Amino acid sequence: MNRTSIRLTLLPEASCRGVGEVPASTARRQLIGGLLLGMVGVVTAEPVPLVAVLVSTGLHALDYMRQGLRELGFVEGQDVAFAFRSADGDPRDLPGLARHLASLKPAVLFVAGPAALDAAVHATSSVPIVALDLETDPVRSGLVRSVSQPRTNVTGLFLDQPAFAGKWFELVKQVVPKARHVNLLWDASTGPWQLAAAKAAAQRQGFDIDTLVVRDESEFERELIDGLRRKPDALVLLSSPLVRARSKQIAEFSMKNRLPTISPFSEFTQAGGLMSYGPDVRDFYLRAAAFVDKVLKGARVGDLPLSMPNQFRLVLNPRAARALGLTLPPTLLAAASELID
């Protein structure tokens, strides 16, 4: 590719939201050197294609997208540049952040999580959107016409919610055979589809359900404590970026209160929780990079079939099981992708 010009734009401090314990000034310095809209001294024949990234919390989406495109042969600053925005755990900020990113006219907007996706589709109908959304039914919600032919400006990775949710309750029944009353922890910003699928799966398998509702990171502790008053036999964590970010806190809470808990995210089990069943998040992000690659190379986003992977990781923590007075069945131990003990 011939190179003749480039622009350098530094995003404001808000671009660093979601970096956890890293101070904003430090995060800003880390982001400036190539995460955003270009690098000084590179000369291009055409503007470097911009990939905008929008998330509810954290930097992992940007890190994985950069890695994925690098593995596909893109050189940052020459073949691709990035603009990043995080709501830092407050979904109410996402619509404004999405409108700002859309105004930059990126070649593609990558979003992680249903709240970010909802903000993006309301911000633009013309910018191609690649989503990693583990919580939404893309067809029933109207995001796409069909799995094989989206015919909108949205494509990406989604899950078969009924099948996925059903597996959680099968695992609860195997590990806690006497469980009848289960609490669901649901992030309301993820929309209704996952919750509906989980409730239906629970009913089919004979569980009574109470739903604990959170809307941002400030509500987790209150809802978890309130849920204990209902004397649950187990806790099922529904998928959300906010729930994933709180894996350690929830693992500590569940063990302190002797509450068998299953999460979609392996970070929960690695932090001391009982078990997790869900996608390999890193792998999903790298798969999303393949969608971005196709769009950058000229594919029409509405012609790219959705990906609905069906391979998931079961991670068990035998030490946590012993602390909870539970015995993990040998067949389940043999089926686990990973044991943490």
Counts of helices then strands in the chain (DSSP H, E): 13, 12
User: What does the block give as tokens for 109?
Assistant: 């907007």
Q: Among 7-16, 35-44, 225-234, 258-267, which stretch is predicted with the lowest mean pLDDT?
A: 7-16
Mean pLDDT of 244-268: 97
Q: What element of type H or E holds 111?
A: strand 108-112
**In this model, does residue 299 exceed pLDDT 60?**
yes
Whole-prediction pTM:
0.82
Sign (positive or negative) of CA dihedral 7, 8, 12, 15: positive
Tokens 């469980």 locate to 179
**In this model, does residue 27 exceed pLDDT 70?**
no
- 304 vs 7, higher pLDDT: 304
Mean pLDDT of 73-85: 97
- pLDDT tens per residue across span 117-167: 999 999 999 999 999 999 999 999 999 999 999 999 999 999 988 888 899
Query: Cα(96)–Cα(84) distance, rounded to whole angstroms?
Result: 13
| DSSP string computed for 175-199 | HSTT--EEEEEEEGGG-SHHHHHHH
**In this model, does residue 171 exceed pLDDT 60?**
yes
Output the average pLDDT for the chain.
88
**In this model, does residue 297 exceed pLDDT 70?**
yes
Query: Quick one: pLDDT at residue 273?
Result: 98
Mean pLDDT of 2-16: 37
Q: For residue 326, what pLDDT band results from cuts at 50, 70 and 90?
A: very high
* Domains, the chain, with CATH or none: 13-159+281-303 (3.40.50.2300), 161-278+312-339 (3.40.50.2300)
Q: Among 25-39, 59-73, 88-102, 225-239, which stretch is predicted with the lowest mean pLDDT?
A: 25-39
Query: Quick one: pLDDT at residue 309?
Result: 85
**In this model, does residue 286 exceed pLDDT 90?**
yes
Q: Percent of the chain scored above 70 by pLDDT?
A: 87
